[in-house]
Chains A and B, each alone.
Chain A
Amino acid sequence: DAGVTQSPTHLIKTRGQQVTLRCSPKSGHDTVSWYQQALGQGPQFIFQYYEEEERQRGNFPDRFSGHQFPNYSSELNVNALLLGDSALYLCASSLAAGVNEKLFFGSGTQLSVL
């Protein structure tokens, strides 16, 4: 049973560029959440997708957008990259119907903005 997979594992971009990160959820999961983890910090919630729609959103600007596909995989897009966007981006999947929303995390994409 494949867990949550993310690609790419590492990425280097320059300021002003755009980036797309990808995530495949754990088999059987239908909900995908994205988190940003800056160095030395806990993960910060960006948004959550369920049934191909953004269900929840954290305190992130509109430069951060996402998409969920019919197969439940998801993309995170960040436009007009800033130096401060450098972080580990974590994808987590869960089962929306579950009473206890246990998140299963991927290993993350390390984004460096130069």
Chain B
Amino acid sequence: GEDVEQSLFLSVREGDSSVINCTYTDSSSTYLYWYKQEPGAGLQLLTYIFSNMDMKQDQRLTVLLNKKDKHLSLRIADTQTGDSAIYFCAVVDLNRDDKIIFGKGTRLHILP
């Protein structure tokens, strides 16, 4: 089945850019998502990209998709203290079973 991998931790200085990476195994994944989870809260959908796109930009967020390498990244420009959270990569294949598979999450820590 699908496997989604992320690095567990990332530390970034306030004001710098954060880049969170994700790799997945199933090349037929159709939608790829980034979710944010703050302490004690559920998951908040940040952005998503369809598999026929290479890039999507939404304000401070930029998603890059490399289908050949099955690599997805989320770039957060001008990282702020409010960006401190766990970021989950998730993928789904709408042509198969519609189940959304999540990675284990990357904890983003902001340094002053």
Contacts and interface: CB of A to CB of B under 8 A. Distances in A.
**Interface bin, chain B:** 20 to 34
Interface stretch (B57-65, B76-84, B94-102): B94-102
A106 interface: yes
A4 B45 CA distance: 13
Interface of B is mostly: strand
Interface of A: 4, 33, 35, 40-45, 48, 56, 58, 90, 92, 99-108
A45 B100 CA distance: 7
Query: Which of B50, B88, B99 has the largest number of chain A CB atoms within 10 A?
Result: B99
Contact of B31 (A41, A100, A105): A100
Contacts of A58: 99
A100 B48 contact: yes
Interface of A is mostly: loop
The 4 A-B pairs at the shortest CB distance, nearest first, are namely A42-B102, A105-B42, A105-B43, A107-B42
Interface of B: 4, 31, 33, 35, 40-45, 48, 50, 88, 90, 92, 94, 97-105
A108 B41 CA distance: 7
Given A42-B88, A90-B42, A90-B43, A101 B100 contact: yes
B102 to A, nearest CB: 4
